[in-house]
Amino acid sequence: MAQRYNTVVIGAGPGGYVAALHLANAKQKVALIENKHLGGTCLNVGCIPTKALLHDSELVAGIRNGAARGVNVAKMTIDFAKMMQRKNQVIQRLQGGVRSLVKSRKIDLFEGTGKLTGTNQVEVTTADGQTQTLETDNIIIATGSAPRVPGVFPADRTKVMTSDEILSINELPKKLLIVGGGYIGCEFATLFAELGVEVVVVEMLDRLLPMQDQDLSKALAKVFKNAGITVHTSTGVEKLEVTRKGVQATLSGDVTVPADLALVCTGRGPVSGDMGLEAAGVESDNGFVLIDEQCRTNVANIYAIGDVTGKVQLAHVASRQAAVAANTIVGRQDSEDYAIVPSAVYTHPEIGMVGLSEDQAREQGLKFKTAAFSMQASGMATAYGETEGFAKLIVGEEFGEILGAHLMCPHAADAIHEIAVLMKSECTVHELVATIHGHPTFSEALAEVAEKITGHPIHG
C-alpha cells in the first residue's frame, strides 16, 4: 500500500529541503526525495565549496603580497590536498546539519530518484533499483540544474571538466583554460590564479560578466590583468581536443591554447528530463518548468522552485521560492516577482549587485541618474590596501527611487544587502543619504555615492 503525504518534495537542495522544513513547521506530513546529496549543488559542488577554497586562496594572495605591508614569510608552501580536505569537511558538517534538521522535523527522507506518475503520485527508485509509490496532495519539483557543455566538446571529464569535477581534483594544474567569463568562470579564475596557476579565460561575448553592469566588467578586466590572468573576449572556442599532455583549444582567429585542464563554464540547464512531467501534464519550456508568482505550475497542486524554473539560478532565490510555495500550499498569501534579488560574484575584490544595470534601465526607457564613488577615496579601502573597485547607484530622475546598485570591494556580497532592504522598503536615495554610516567601513561608500548623486558630494 502506497504511503500518503500532504506534500512530496523532489530534490533536497536549498529550495527543496527548505520547502520541506517550512511545510513540516506547518504540521504537514512531508516526504523529501534526493538522489545525490542533501543540500544539492549549492552545498556540495557550488556555493559552499567554492567559497571555502576562495577564502583559502585569498589567504595565499595576502601572504604572497605581505612584504609590502611588513609581513615577511620566508617560504610559503601550498598543500592543495589539505585545502580540498578542509573543503570536504565543511561540506560534511553542513550536510550533517541539514540531515539533522530533516530528522528533527520528522520529515521522511527517501534517498533515490523521484518521478511523477500522475498529479498525485510520485514513484521513488533507489540506487539498488527498488521502487515504491508515494501518494500525495501536493508535489514540489526542486530538482535544480546541471552544467551545460557544448556537444562539440570532448566528453572526457578527467581533462575537460565542469564545476562539478574540478572541485574534486587533488593536484593543481600548471595551466588552466576556462571557457566562459560569467560569474562561475570568473570565480574559478580568481581561485586558481591566486594559487599560482596560469589561467586563460575565453569569453564569446565582448566582456567578462556580460550579464552585469558594464562598469563592473571593465573594473574586473583590470583586476584580472593585474593578476596575470589572460582574457580573450569576443572569442569562440572552435575546437577543444584532449591531448596526451592535457588539452588544446583552437580559438577564433586561429589561436591555439594548450593547457593541463579545461574548465567549461557555459551555463547550466534544468534537471527535468525523464521525471514524468508529461505524465502529470506539467508544462515546460526547453526543460524549464513554467510557474506563476506563487510557484504553481499549470497543474494546480504541483509546484516548482529553484533552478529548474529558470527564473533566477541562485540558491537564495530557491530558498525564497520554497517559502512562497510552502505558504501557498498551507493557505498563506505570498508571491515573488524577482525584481529585487541581491547577487554576488566572489572574485577578489568581491562584487555585489541588486536591481537594474545601467543598460537595463536604458532598455526599459527609464529616466535615471547614475554616479560612482571610487574606492581610491575610501578610508577603509585605503587602510586595507584594496582600492580597486567602486560603489555605483542608479536612481530615478524625478523621485530618486533606487533602481540598482553595484559594489566592488571587499565584503561587497554582504554590504549590498543594505540597498536591497532599502529597495524592498521603497525608500529613496534621500533615505540613504540621511542614514548614518559607520566609519571606517566599506559600506559607507554607498552613502558617499548617494551624496554625489543628489548633488552634494563630500569625498569624491
Tell me whether residue 295 is in a domain. Answer: yes
Q: What is the pLDDT of residues 92-126, one digit of tens each?
A: 999 999 999 999 999 999 999 999 999 999 999 98
pLDDT at site 127 = 83
Residues 276 and 186 in one domain: no
pLDDT at site 360 = 97
Tell me whether residue 311 is in a domain. Answer: yes
Tell me whether residue 170 is in a domain. Answer: yes
- Which among 265, 263, 200, 205 is positioned nearest to 233, based on CA atoms? 205
Residues 250 and 274 in one domain: no
Residues 167 and 41 in one domain: no
Tell me whether residue 51 is in a domain. Answer: yes
Q: Which of 234, 266, 298 is the last residue of a domain?
A: 266
Contact 341, 212 (CB under 8 A): no
Residues 63 and 175 in one domain: no
Model pTM?
Answer: 0.96
Residues 139 and 16 in one domain: yes
Residues 94 and 227 in one domain: no
Q: What is the pLDDT of residues 188-231, one digit of tens each?
A: 999 999 999 999 999 999 999 999 999 999 999 999 999 999 99
Q: Which domain, by its residues, includes 20?
A: 3-146+269-329
Q: How many domains does the chain have?
A: 3
Segments of the chain scoring below 70 in pLDDT: 1
**Gap between the terminal Cα atoms of the chain:** 71
Residues 142 and 18 in one domain: yes
- Which CATH number does the domain housing residue 14 bear? 3.50.50.60
Q: Which of 244, 266, 288 is the last residue of a domain?
A: 266
Residue with cell 575565453: 202
pLDDT at site 1 = 61
Contact 238, 252 (CB under 8 A): yes
Tell me whether residue 459 is in a domain. Answer: no
Distance separating alpha carbons of residues 399 and 357, to the nearest angstrom: 18
Burial label, 203 (beta-carbon count in 10 A; 0-12, 13-18, 19+) = buried
Q: Which of 281, 305, 329 is the last residue of a domain?
A: 329
Tell me whether residue 196 is in a domain. Answer: yes
- Which CATH number does the domain housing residue 436 bear? 3.30.390.30
Residues 81 and 55 in one domain: yes
Parallel/antiparallel/unpaired status of strands 131-141 and 121-126: antiparallel
Contact 429, 453 (CB under 8 A): yes
Tell me whether residue 289 is in a domain. Answer: yes
Tell me whether residue 279 is in a domain. Answer: yes
Q: What is the pLDDT of residues 149-196, one digit of tens each?
A: 999 999 999 999 999 999 999 999 999 999 999 999 999 999 999 999
pLDDT at site 406 = 98
Distance separating alpha carbons of residues 314 and 318, to the nearest angstrom: 6
Phi, psi of 187, deg, nearest 5: -65, -45
Residues 316 and 400 in one domain: no
Residues 119 and 164 in one domain: no
Residues 110 and 167 in one domain: no
Residues 187 and 310 in one domain: no
Show which residues are catalytic: 439
pLDDT at site 40 = 97
